Structure 1
Amino acid sequence: MGLRFMIKLFYRPAGLTSSQDATACGLTFSAILQGVRVHNPTPYYQTLGKLVLNHAAINLDKQPSMVAPMSTETYYFSAPVTQAKWQTINDFGGLSAQCQQAVSFIKEVS
């Protein structure tokens, strides 16, 4: 029998004014040819607990679930993405309220 535990420890400076729960819906989604880009404009690490693109749940065990502050993650999807629904994991290990956004296509510049 094997057990697998993951413990994440984050230091949160006292100067951060908003709570992580208040920023969960601050993620922005942009469609690209291969899927969708998720941008985190907040000062918090956001860990996706659930991600649904076009009514299809994304397996977050196979793709990164954490989006660092002020950074972007790409999630690959086989069809053009028009809608995203997500929930993040809060400080207590529970899920945030569900957030959703209509996703628009961005033209990539090479």
Structure 2
Amino acid sequence: MQYVREKLEEARRILAERPELAERLRKRPRKALIRVGEEELLLDTATLEELDSGEPDIVLETDEETFWSIVRGELDAGVAYLSGRVRVKASLADKVYFGKVLKTILEEKA
């Protein structure tokens, strides 16, 4: 999870530099639980800050092998989701929203 925390720190720096992106995230705050293997991280999607507790609106789960394959660029995240290697438990609206949050962060970094 250290890798995820480092990427969140980078994303928070981007949001600090781009207030319009931060505003987009604040429009629909959610709690997202990211689970990789046995490790978990609860995240406020509006601020990208880690939370100590709370009931998640979105649960994103995968195993460590799939996670690192996505990180290394060996596996597309969309393909991993469609094949069932990444599971997202949420309402359809929240799935779409969380996908947009992740896409915005990744595109801004590029």
TM over 0.5, shorter chain: no
Instruction: Judging by fraction of residues, say which structure has more strand.
Output: 1
**Which gives a bigger RCO, structure 1 or 2 (Cα 8 Å, sep 6+)?**
1
Q: TM-score, normalised by structure 1?
A: 0.26
